[in-house]
Amino acid sequence: MMLKIGALASLAGVSRDTLRFYEKHGLITPDTRTDSGYRLYSETDVYRISFILSAKEVGFTLNEIHQLLELEVTKDDKSCHDVKQFVDNKIQVVNQRLGEMEKIKQSLKTLSNACCGGDEPATHCTILGALSVQNR
Amino acid sequence: MMLKIGALASLAGVSRDTLRFYEKHGLITPDTRTDSGYRLYSETDVYRISFILSAKEVGFTLNEIHQLLELEVTKDDKSCHDVKQFVDNKIQVVNQRLGEMEKIKQSLKTLSNACCGGDEPATHCTILGALSVQNR
DNA sequence: CTTGACCTTGGACTATACTCCACCCTTTAT
DNA sequence: ATAAAGGGTGGAGTATAGTCCAAGGTCAAG
Ligand SMILES: [Zn+2]
Ligand SMILES: [Zn+2]
Ligand SMILES: [Zn+2]
Ligand SMILES: [Zn+2]
């Protein structure tokens, strides 16, 4: 049961271009090609694209998915420790980004709260005022 | 008191390239030029770059800063309401992004918690297993 | 035999925010 | 006079994740 690119694309819910893009970046390669050059994907490839999309879903970048796939294909030589480590690192990164965004949100809230929000000209607006002063 | 690009750059703590980049994108334009074409920045420009950097600090994109600067220069015709609205919209966006990242973090934590993290081969790893199954 | 659906490649374009480079000109200091 | 420091332009490159397009080849049905 081999699938042409369109079939795999609609099965996975991505565009044919996306599959070719992933291929160019080493994430998924068709099992074979027809004589005329059509890509043919095997069941392993279906599994693989599913892996990629699931990993994307939980926030991994394509680059990280590349590394994850390497863990996946060499899982005989890798330990659970390695895999878990990888995920835990990502959690750290996400946490850090979460903190930054939280700080941003607080700053924005402070700005917003200080503004009267009225209908008079914004010449006296505390938001505009606060932004034009170098903070920090 | 006119500043050449290098002076403003070191004053603001950005590179000359960044100032030229901002100029190309309509964020800041030197007041004048010397006969030889050197950019000359006025005090208003210093204030402007300070505004840009402060806005960046609180998470606005350059595009949004562009819009903010328009509010700023036309503040006689704008109301506090307009400015506050703009900031509140951004808070909404940040909040949404925050929610997405939180969900990602939870997914990653679930993955991590299910993995034994041991030193045996990762052939049985629940993380790799979970990722290769299409979730949702 | 032709039409339409599907496939191929390569390359351009999107958004975001710069950075670096080459190549050349100006200004300042010794 | 000359060298170093600083400035100018245009264009390419980086990372991220694709999308869109043109020009052409292939395949099944009517
Ligand atoms: Zn007000
Ligand atoms: Zn206000
Ligand atoms: Zn295990
Ligand atoms: Zn495991």
The residue among B97, B93, B51 whose CA lies nearest residue A108 is B93
Q: Is A63 part of any domain?
A: no
Nearest-nucleotide field for A10 (CA, C1'): C6
B5 to chain A, any CB pair closer than 8 A? The answer is no
Name the domain count of chain A.
2
CA of A118 to the centre of ligand 1 (A): 5
Helix runs in B13-117, H state only:
16-24, 43-57, 62-73, 80-114
Q: Are residues B46 and B91 in the same domain?
A: no
pLDDT in tens, A20-67: 999 999 999 999 999 999 999 999 999 999 999 999 999 999 999 999
Q: Are residues B33 and B4 in the same domain?
A: yes
* End position of a domain, from candidates B58, B80, B107: B58
Other beta carbons less than 10 A from residue B57's beta carbon: 15
A111 to chain B, any CB pair closer than 8 A? The answer is yes
pTM across the whole model: 0.88
Q: Is B65 part of any domain?
A: no
Distance, Å, B65 CA → C16 C1': 13
**Chain B residues within an 8 Å CB radius of A90:** 108
Q: Are residues B135 and B75 in the same domain?
A: yes
Q: Quick one: which residue's CA is nearest to C19's C1'?
A: B17
pLDDT in tens, A10-31: 999 999 999 999 999 999 999 9
Check whether residue A110 has its CB closer than 7 Å to nucleic acid strand D. no
Mean pLDDT per segment of 10 residues, for chain B of length 136 residues? 96 97 96 97 96 96 96 95 97 95 96 96 95 64
Across the interface, which of A71, A91, A121 has its CB nearest the CB of B79?
A121
Q: Is A66 part of any domain?
A: no
Q: Are residues A52 and A75 in the same domain?
A: no
CA of A62 to the centre of ligand 4 (A): 21
Beta bridge partners of B32: B40
CATH label of the domain that carries residue B10: 1.10.1660.10
Check whether residue A14 has its CB closer than 7 Å to nucleic acid strand D. yes
Domain, as residue range, for A26: 1-58
Q: Are residues B45 and B81 in the same domain?
A: no
Q: Is B66 part of any domain?
A: no
CA of B121 to the centre of ligand 4 (A): 9
Q: Is B63 part of any domain?
A: no
Q: Are residues A22 and A75 in the same domain?
A: no
